[in-house]
Structure 1
Amino acid sequence: MGIKPSYIKTLGNELVAKQRDNFSNNFEENKQQLGTSAVIGSKRVRNRVAGYITRKINTKRRS
């Protein structure tokens, strides 16, 4: 897929650290949660952050 920009990683890591219980391993649920918990102006950035959070949670569960 490619390398994620640092602003995506930073934002995703901050949100997971503060609101870990609000996010799941489902992309669609995370997308909806980001709409309510964070102010992100761009739909593309919101989707990229939701994807990063989903991937991060899924890799933690597998380990």
Structure 2
Amino acid sequence: MGIKPSYIKTIGTTLLAKQRENFSNSFDANKQQLGSSASIQSKRVRNRVAGYITRKINTKRHA
């Protein structure tokens, strides 16, 4: 789909390092978790971070 901006990767990596147990391999569940754990104002940025986290979790699980 394209290259992720560095701020998406930074936010996602930081949240995964601190709160890995709160995130799952489901995009919708991660979206809800971001709504409660991070103060991201933009819906688009929240969705992109949730997608990045979901992708990271799924690739680590399959590797």
Shorter-chain TM-score range: over 0.9
Aligned twin of 1:44: 44
Distance 1:20 1:42 in 2: 22
What displacement does 1:21 show? 0.1
After TM superposition, the structure 1 = structure 2 runs for residues 1-63 of structure 1, keeping only pairs within 5 Å, are 1-63=1-63
Distance 2:23 2:9 in 1: 15
Distance 1:17 1:60 in 2: 14
Question: TM-score, structure 2 length as denominator?
Answer: 1.00
Alignment coverage as a number of residue pairs: 63
Identity %: 79
What displacement does 1:44 show? 0.2
Q: Show structure 1 runs of 5+ residues with no match.
A: none
Question: TM-score, structure 1 length as denominator?
Answer: 1.00
Distance 2:57 2:32 in 1: 16
Once superposed, what is the RMSD of the aligned Cα atoms? Answer: 0.2
What displacement does 1:48 show? 0.1
